[in-house]
Structure 1
């Protein structure tokens, strides 16, 4: 996927909120804006999600033990 530079004028308060959200998600502001835009486009049917990656968490025997057993 190629990326294209695009100048963006954005309200300072909105940018600050995006920065905080990006920090929480360990992303750059640019990546956070792209994530939010992509997610919104998919939710509103403007683009199709080509591939969805999921991670399944499986409990191991050790994680099922009661903490009192330790």
Structure 2
């Protein structure tokens, strides 16, 4: 998987707080909410690149069979 780009974004604190609340309502991180809104704006403007990958779904990722074989968190024996 290609590494994701990192950017520094300066926001008005009130705008950040509003985004964080909105993200929480939609079960997303603030970062994921910003990406969601940017993607929607690009799509609405007809500027979404065809090579852009889709976003991961909301909430925690589902467990895979590989995850089920991993030791429990903490690594201790029960």
Q: TM-score range by the shorter chain?
A: 0.5 to 0.7
Q: Which has the higher contact order (CA 8 A, sep 6+)?
A: 2
User: If you compute each CA radius of gyration, which structure gives the higher value, 1 or 2?
Assistant: 1
The alignment's TM-score, normalised by the length of structure 1, stands at 0.64
Bigger fraction of residues in helix: 1
Moved over 2 A (4+): 48-52
Show structure 1 runs of 5+ residues with no match: 53-70
The alignment's TM-score, normalised by the length of structure 2, stands at 0.58
1:47 aligns with 2:48: yes
Show structure 2 runs of 5+ residues with no match: 55-78
Mapped partners of 1:3, 1:51: distance in 2: 11
User: How many corresponding residue pairs?
Assistant: 52
